[in-house]
Each structure stands twice: as structure tokens, then as C-alpha cells.
Structure 1
Amino acid sequence: MTETPPDSEQFMDLVARLCTAQPDLTPIQAGIIIAAQQNIARDSRTFARLLGLAHALVLRELNALLQSCAVLKLIKRDERTLRTFYQPV
């Protein structure tokens, strides 16, 4: 089974639109939200890998997002790796 990769231009356009609509979001936070809504990534490690970002950076942005917005819901967190699973509310 081959999976079609998401259209990066469309993804970035959605991120830019969300950043414009909600200027308090960082581009990474907007990317996390869009990736979850589009079912591209629903955990911190996958999002970091797909976008070529450090997992620690993604965790920092995700934690800030979970504390400030009611857009995502925390599902579980791996205690050893800190991999965090989330889903859109």
C-alpha cells in the first residue's frame, strides 16, 4: 500500500491562512493544527520528522498550543520519549 504524500504547497497555504486568521499562533503551531486536521500527523515525533524539525522544538510549540488553545486534545504522552499524541477537538 503506497501512501500519497500531502501537497506541500497546499499545506503551507493552509498554514499561512491560519497564521493570518490567528496572528497569536506561530507558524509551527499553525502547522501542527493543520497537520492534525488534515490527518497528516497526529503526534509530535511524526510532525517533527515530516517537517525536518527538532522534536524538542515541536514539543515546546505543542505544549504552548495545548495550554493556550482548545483546538487540540492531548491523547497520550510517552514518558520515555515524550512523544505526544493529539487530535483536533
Structure 2
Amino acid sequence: MTTKTADETLGYEQARDELIDVVRRLEAGGTSLEESLALWERGEELAKVCRRWLDGARARLDAALAETDDGDGGEAAGDDAEEE
């Protein structure tokens, strides 16, 4: 099993693909309780990695949209006033 430091270096696609594999293995069954628990724990770790990537992407998108809104602030307000 990888360490938290290694998990931090996982890319989104790598973590997602490994998470998909973990879910498939859990759904297939045939593992011992101990193995199932280890898979579940690994899945939770991978889900956190994916969540961090997605949260970071959302923050970057929000920042880019805020920059666009700041640059178009006068025009956007004028357009809204004309539509009313």
C-alpha cells in the first residue's frame, strides 16, 4: 500500500483509475473481510486525492471566472440594465 506522501503525488487520472479498480474488486467479492477492509480504506484515500484535485480545479476555475467578471464588470452591468 502506498503512503500519504505517495498519494499526494498521484495525478487525478491515476487516483481515479485506481479507485475504479478498487470498487470493481469490492463489487466482485471473493475477498476476505481483512482484504475488503483494506480495499475500502484504500478507496477512501483515493477518493480524498480525487476530491483535492477537483477542489483545486474548481478554485482555479472560480478564480479565472472572477478575473473575467472583473474585466467585464462595466459591460456586464450595462447589459443587464438594458435587458430589464
> Which structure: greater strand fraction?
1
Does the pair score TM above 0.5? no
TM-score by length of 2: 0.29
Q: Relative CO higher for 1 or 2, CA cutoff 8 Å, sep ≥ 6?
A: 2
TM-score by length of 1: 0.28
